[in-house]
Amino acid sequence: MSQKGKLDVFSQTIVEESSAEVSEILRQMEDEHQTSVAAARTSLQTEAEHYKSSKISEIRARESRRINARMTENKQTLLLFRESCANEGFLRIHERLREFTEQPGYAEHLKHLLTRALSHLDLGAKADVFLRAEDMCFADALKDVGASYQLSFRPGRSHLGGLQVVCHDRGIRLDLSFDSALSDLVGHFAEISGMQV
């Protein structure tokens, strides 16, 4: 074989080996490219899921706070409305008591209250009867009811009406005032409704 033939074979071998190496390098590059793309796709999906999850949690928390604030606001509005209704009801009671104390039957009611209070005392007992200042005009009529007792009539602290009887000798205090009855009613109302008046 001539020199030129040997050189052609050698060149041909080098070109074939180089082509094989280039093909192998291109195949490896394609594999690495596919692996990198798959890893990047997985990373992006994981990151997108994490972002989506964190945004959902953030939105859920924000909306939960908004809903809770709205519910608290609604509860407060309802409570204020209920208390307003209760206060309005007690204002009506005050007005009706005031109207009642201006009626002719109020004097008879005071006599009935005094009779009820005196039933707890011994005959001839000494007692103080406290009335509203406006009700002191009924003292003479009430003395007739308590003729068997030693009664003294004085202005008391009651503002709505009724009376209080105090027997210092026996340590008895009977409060039949409208103020006390209304106070008990307020307590009972608060107990059953949970509202303060």
Say which amino acid occupies 119: S
Rg value, the chain, Cα: 49
Q: Spelled out in words, what is the top-level CATH class assigned to the domain 103-193?
A: alpha beta
Contacting residues for 164 by C-beta, under 8 A, at least 6 apart: 129, 130, 156, 158, 173, 174, 175, 176, 177, 180
Angle at 168 between CA 166 and CA 174, to 5 degrees: 25
The model scores a pTM over 0.85: no
| In the predicted structure, residue 197 carries a pLDDT above the cut 70 | no
pLDDT for the residue numbered 13: 82
pLDDT in tens, 66-94: 999 999 998 888 888 877 777 787 888 88
Tell me how far apart the alpha carbons of residues 102 and 179 are, in angstroms, rounded to a whole number. Answer: 16
Q: Domain ranges in the chain?
A: 1-73, 103-193
106-111: Cβ within 8 A, 24+ apart = 106/161, 107/138, 107/141, 110/135, 110/138, 110/141, 110/142, 110/162, 110/163, 111/141, 111/142, 111/145
| In the predicted structure, residue 195 carries a pLDDT above the cut 60 | no
pLDDT in tens, 38-54: 888 888 888 888 888 88
